[in-house]
Every structure is written in structure tokens, then in C-alpha cells.
Structure 1
Amino acid sequence: MKTQVAIIGAGPAGLLLGQLLTVAGIDNIILERRSADYVLSRIRAGVLEQGTVDLLREAGVDTNLDAHGLVHDGFDIAFAGERVRIDLAGLTGGKHVTVYGQTEVTRDLMNARQSLGASTYYQAEDVQPQAIDTDSPYVTFIHEGEQYRLDCAYIAGCDGFHGVSRSCIPEDRLKTFEREYPLGWLGVLSDTPPVAEELIYATHERGFAMCSMRSPSRSRYYIQVPDTESPDNWSDEAFWAELKRRLPEPVADTLVTGASIEKSVAPLRSFVAEPMQHGRLILLGDAAHIVPPTGAKGLNLAVSDVNTAYRLFQAIYNDGRADLLERYSATCLSRVWKTERFSWWMTANLHKFSATEDFDTRMQQAELGYYLGSKAGRATIAENYVGLPFAELEQ
């Protein structure tokens, strides 16, 4: 079996890269250790940056996005008893974000790949990149009990934090940076109308809260909890009561509650691996970096990597620019660290880390007060929220 680019992982990063390459005439095969149904069952965020939407359009998977995506020109930060609106469109020259669930993005990409007849091996076992330091890498795997060898020119590792790809980079070359936060997000999905037309991020003495949505009739809410918390400890009634305590009173008074259809706790962590390329292997998305959910950057940062990888493979196969492979890691990381900074800033300043009013608490209040009270500060938040420009391979 042979292809030009072997893609490990059929999450949105692997599927989007595969879609773009297929449309561009660059052959690729995707290997995924889970079933297609399992991949679609993952409940993830759904706030898409302007650049992410633009790249989905370029990939030709924008029909459902246009029909069902909710365009947002701003969002609110509730702080010190007030709601301050971050006017995304007004502060960034008309840019915005689109609320469209990651599950829907994944389903659209799966359907598009199937319609193009591109190959995906789900439930591929023991996937192992081989000979990545040579000009002839390959991937071995087992599918339906049969051993396969997939010869390729390049390998794209889109297999997440626990995947095999990152472990293929020699330990003496790989350096990781990590911060774990002692808190998590308890999230509830419910078939109730959103409490507001735009997202609300709320900082409160009892802890952070967030109001989001998936559609005009489906809402997603979060509250800060300890990272050791179990969702089983929270009844629906207890969740709604705590959420209301943390929201401004006018918002809490209009909150429509209902039975949860999904409840989970997401840990918060920051992680970056360097480099993101070794030999003929490149890393994308969670295989190389993780951001806290504050700021909605996880999927979008993966898409940024996809954009760089796609332009790289186009340059290699259309223009013979194999030399640009060595620029992949630095190009991605230049945007990764800026995005990590924004997610860290949002996390550090919107959450409660101390049970008492200490120096750090006062600094949080001063930081938010300055940024939210300044047009330049709000513009900085806005330009990061809608997404920084994709990094260029050649500058």
C-alpha cells in the first residue's frame, strides 16, 4: 500500500488536512484507532475563528456551516457586577467568530471525504510510524486482523496528546512545556434556549462560569470546579443553582433550565512540545500542544497547524520546495505560543485560584479592570479571540 501523505488520526485536524490535500490532488490515507461513531461521540467546543471558517470554505465543507452556524460579532465578560461587551466586529475591522459544534465539523468532513472516495481506515490497531529519519518512511498497522504496511513520503501526526506520533521524536530532541491548573470545567449540555445571544464569560468570587450554545435551542454551560471533581457529584438542580449564583442577576433571572443530556468535567492544562517536526514526521493539533478551553482555541489552533501543513505540501508537490519542511515547526510554534499566551491570560484572570482575597486576586481585578476599561485593551482581547493571522512559511 502506498500514498503521498499518511495521516494518523481522524479527528477534525486529520480530516481537514486530508480533505484539503485530496481536493488539491495530493494522495493521502487516514488511519484512526477508534471507530467513526466513537470519533463523532466526542463532545467538544464549537467557537470557530474567522480563519478556521475561511479554511473550511477553501476545503469545500461550508454548506452546513453556512446553514446552521451562528455568526457572533461579540461576547460579554461579566466582571465586578457589570457586563462588558467585547465588540469583535467593531474592534477588528469586521471580523467575527462562528458558533458551530466540533462534532458537526467532524461529520461534515467525514461526509466530504467519503464523497471523494478517499481512504480512511477506522479501528486501525498498533499504528506505528517507521523510518521517519529516512527518505522512505512508512507506517505499519493492523486492520481487521491483517497486518499492513503503508509506504509514504510524509507522515502527519494528528493523533492527539496520547497518540503515538509525538513519541516517535527522539527524547534527546523533544522538549516539552506544561502547566496544569488545579481546576476543571463542569459542563452541561441541555436542550434549552441560550440565556443570551452571545457568549458570556463570568468571573465571580465563587469561581468562573460560562454561558455558551450549540444552536438556538441547545445550550452549553460551564462552572469552575476542582480538577478532582466528578460530574456524578452534581445533580442537574445543584448545577443550575450554582450557575445562577455566579451570573449577573439579570442573566440568572432569565436562565431557562432543563434536564442535562451530557455532563462532564474537563481538566485545564497548557502544553507545548518542541519541535513539531522530525525527519519526515510532522505533528498537528493536540499531538503537539494543548490549551485550556478558556478562549476557545483548541480546535482553532489545530486548524492553524493544518493550514501550515497544507501550504507546505502544496509547495513540496507543486513547486518542489522540500526545503520548506525544515521551517514547519518554527512557523507553527510562532503562532502556537501567542495563542497559548492568550488562553493562559484568559484562564489566569477569569478563574478563582485562592479562597481568600490575596495579592493575586487584586492583580486579577486590576488586570481585568484595565483591559476592559480601555478600548485598546478590549481591542487586544478581540483580535486574539477572532484569531491571529495564520503564520506564513516564507516571510
Structure 2
Amino acid sequence: MDTKTQVAIIGAGPSGLLLGQLLTNAGIDNIILERKSGDYVLSRIRAGVLEQGTADLLREAGVGERMDEEGIVHTGTDFSFQGEHHHLDLEKYSGGKQVVVYGQTEVTRDLMEARKKSGATTVYEADNVKLHDIESDSPYVTYYHNEETFRLDCDYIAGCDGYHGVSRKSIPKDKLVEYEKVYPFGWLGLLSDTPPVHDELIYCAHERGFALCSMRSKTRSRYYLQVPDTDTLDNWNEEKFWAELKRRIPKKMADKLVTGPALEMSIAPLRSYVCETMQYGKLFLLGDAAHIVPPTGAKGLNLAASDVETAFRLFVKIYKEDRTDLIPRYQEISVARAWKAVRFSWWMTMFLHRFESAGRFDFRVQQAEFDYFIHSEAGKATIAENYVGLPFEELE
């Protein structure tokens, strides 16, 4: 069966759904194809710190109402080095910007609901998705659904299907420009229905390893511990996790930490990855299909949102003003911004984690760097402006 749309979107995660919502609002036809079920997409546990620009983009898309009602606005964040606790006023040092703590699952849920109301098409459980003729003026996508093969003709394809998706793999290998760095540790995360230990996030550097105290709401907490990349969940239980967390966070926080049963525990490896070929022919890569960052800088979802912002503005220019000459700008803008986010996430990771190969000298340098950035006005401004998100760049 053959169908046609203007923009075929591969992947119904936050980036695909957000792009679809913005395009639909602008009167640009789009169809989303998703390999998994809607319930599976909603079951994925992800981060929940939204930059100012991401929050504003969700509002522009008309899906910010619940975020504004239930999200927790943070005007600052906290750092700890060997138990020494410091507050960073993000609002003061970023020119008045803030971040919003609102779970990625909730963002996805809001976008799904909005798409359902709009009547726009999302095909879940679309198997064997393949991209064809992406270098031509007539690209198309084929997929298998409900025991039938479909063909979707389109003008452009937005690959929002993650690192393991088909979109990037559809670009010839010799055309891909890729970079990767793998870190020798992962994050062991625990989600619990317990009140957060603090009203803001706490990033903790400790000789036993990094720890992060985060949250999803005023009653749901998310905690992380740095663990070796060889570690497995078999080596951990709730009691051991809570005990280790208390060792790594400031004593005044450890004394008031509320523990409880784990809703979920998992280990996520840390790595940095950039594919600089973010546009090839009529295919555009967005989000994890093009870049992966360690979660240390809270940049994953936000970097995907910046790709969406640029792609959306471009498609509006193409369809409203016939500005196909602006197509190369997508890659120029998105790659430059990706590297800035990758740099900040890499720096935060190096700044706060313990490396087995590091000696006493390295630890003292890390401590000196912490002292500089936390006590210097310029240092605090550098962290704040990156953490709340760099401004979106104009297409022209």
C-alpha cells in the first residue's frame, strides 16, 4: 500500500514527536514510523533536566501546560568535592535563565497526547523500516506493519531513531564522519518513590567515585553512582546502593537521606559520540542518531531538542519560502552545537569522576580545578551558561 507525506519521521521518541508536533502546527504534513509499541516507548527511563530553550520549545509546540504545572523550576544547582558543599546560582550567572526538572517520560507522554488530538499519523510497531533513494529528489520509506508491506513517499526524511536505528545506517559508510570516546565506567541508577534529599541536584566528586542526587518530582528521586564498566547489577542490591551513596554525598545530606525500595535499577555505560554527517541528501539526523553524550551535563534530550528546533525552522523556510538553499545550514549549525555540548559533558565527566589510572597528582589538579570554578566569578559563569543551555542559532 502506498501513501505520501511531506516529512517522514523515523522514531517516536521525544525528538521525533516534538518535530512532528511543530510541523503539524505549521501545516506541514508528516508521518512518524516507530519500531516499538507506544507502551514500550513510554516505559523507557530517561533524564529529566530541561534547559530553558527546550522548555520554551515545548511551550511553542503547545505541550508545555503540564510541564509548567508539575515541573520543578531550578534556579541553581549544587556541587560537592570530598564532602565540601557549594551552591551555584544558575539564574545569576546565566543572565536570568533556569532549568526545569520534568521527566523525559512525561515529555513523551504529553507529546503523544497532543499528536493523538491533532489526528496526525504515528505507526507503531513498524517493522523492517528501510530508507530508499535518499540522494534523489524522490526518497521513500518502506516498512512492514500488520502483515502488510507499505511504501511511504516523501520529500524529506528526519532520522530520530536513536544510535541503533536505521537512519544513520542508510548513509554510505564512506560518507560518514564519526568520532567516539568510551569512558572506563558507568552509572548505576536507582529510582525510588522517596522525597529528594535536596531541593536541587547535587553533583558529588569523591575519592570513592562520582555520585548524583537527582529527582523526577517532589516525591520521586533518582540517584546515581559511578561504577566500573565491568560492573553488573548482580553485584548490587538496594541496601548496598544506599550505603555507598551515603559515603559519597555530603554528611548533612547523608544524615537526612530517605531510602526506600527501588522502582528500577540499571547500569548505563558512558561514552561520547558524534556523527558529523547530520545531513545527507534528503535525510536529516536528529538526536541520538547523530550524537551521544555522557549524562553528566544533562545534555542528551536538550541537544536533541536543539536539532529539532533547527530542523523545524528549516522545513518552515523550505515549504513557506522555497529556501532549499538553506539545507546545508542544518548540518553547520547542528554539528557546531553538538560539539559544544559534547565538550561540556566531557568536561563535567572529567571534572567530577575518579579514573582508576589517575594518580595523586591528577587528583590534586582535579581539586584545584574545582576550587577555581566554584570560587571564580568567571568559572561559575562558564558552568552556568553551558548548563542552562547555549542559545539557538539562527538559520540566516
TM-score by length of 1: 0.98
**Structure 1 residue 18: Cα displacement:** 0.2
Structure 2: distance between partners of 1:241 and 1:179: 31
CA distance in 2, matches of 1:358, 1:328: 45
Amino acid at match of 2:57: L
Asked if residue 120 in structure 1 is aligned to residue 117 in structure 2, the reply is no
After superposition, the C-alpha distances for 1:47-77 in whole angstroms (9 at most, x for unaligned) are: 0000000000000001110110000000000
Distance in 1, Cα, partners of 2:176 & 2:388: 31
Instruction: Let me know the Cα RMSD of the aligned residues.
Output: 0.9
Query: Which of 312, 322, 325 is residue 324 of structure 2 equivalent to?
Result: 322
- CA displacement at 1:326 relative to structure 2: 1.6
Deviation at 1:356, TM superposition (A): 6.1
Q: 1:332, 1:391 within 8 Å by CA — same for their partners in 2? A: no
| 1:195 matched residue in structure 2 | 197
Q: Which moved more, 1:347-356 or 1:137-146?
A: 347-356
Q: Deviations along 1:244-296, whole A, 9 cap, x unmatched?
A: 00011111001000111100001100000011000000000000000000011
Matching residue of 2:153: 151
Q: Which letter does structure 1 place at the counterpart of 2:122?
A: T
The Cα shift of 1:360 comes to: 2.4
Map 1:1-395 → 2, pairs under 5 A: 1-354=3-356, 357-394=359-396
Question: What are the Cα deviations for residues 94-131 of structure 1, in whole angstroms up to 9, with x where unaligned?
Answer: 11100000000000000000000000000000101100
Deviates more, 1:306-315 or 1:385-394: 385-394
Q: CA deviation at 1:391?
A: 2.1
Q: Give the Cα–Cα distance (whole angstroms) in 2 for the partners of residues 378 and 178 of structure 1.
A: 28
Q: Is the 8 A contact 1:182 1:226 kept in 2?
A: yes
Q: Distance in 1 between matches of 2:303 and 2:75?
A: 20
1:276-327 superposed Cα distances (whole Å, 9 cap, x missing partner): 0000000000000000000110000000000000000000001110111122
Check the 8 A contact 1:271/1:290 in 2, yes or no. yes
For 1:52, the aligned partner's letter is T
Q: Percent same amino acid at aligned positions? A: 67
Distance of 2:269 and 2:240 partners within structure 1: 20
- Alignment-mate amino acid for residue 73 of structure 1: T
- The alpha carbon displacement at 1:367 in A equals 1.5
1: distance between equivalents of 2:16 and 2:245?
36
**Structure 2 CA distance, aligned partners of 1:382 and 1:312?**
29
TM-aligned CA deviation for residue 355 of structure 1: 6.5
Conserved 8 A contact 1:354-1:361: no
Name the stretch that deviates more: 242-251 or 355-364: 355-364
Distance 1:307 1:356 in 2: 40
Displacement after TM superposition at 1:228 (Å)? 2.0
Q: Is the 8 A contact 1:165 1:287 kept in 2?
A: yes
Contact 1:334–1:391 (Cα < 8 Å) also in 2: no
- Equivalent pairs counted in the alignment come to 394
Q: Structure 2 CA distance, aligned partners of 1:204 and 1:149?
A: 54
Gap regions ≥5 residues in structure 2: none
Contact 2:80–2:86, Cα closer than 8 Å, also in 1:
yes
Q: For 2:134, what is the secondary structure of its paired residue?
A: coil
- String of CA shifts for 1:333-361, please: whole Å, max 9, x gaps: 11110110000000011000027633322
Could you tell me which amino acid in structure 1 is paired with residue 205 of structure 2? T
Quote the Cα distance in structure 2 between the aligned partners of 1:176 and 1:333. Answer: 11
Distance 1:364 1:144 in 2: 56
Residue aligned with 1:215, SS = coil
- C-alpha contact 2:83 2:248 (8 A) present in aligned 1: no
Q: 1:71 & 1:356 partners in 2: Cα distance? A: 37
SS of structure 2 residue aligned to 1:37: helix
User: Secondary structure in 1 aligned to 2:255?
Assistant: helix
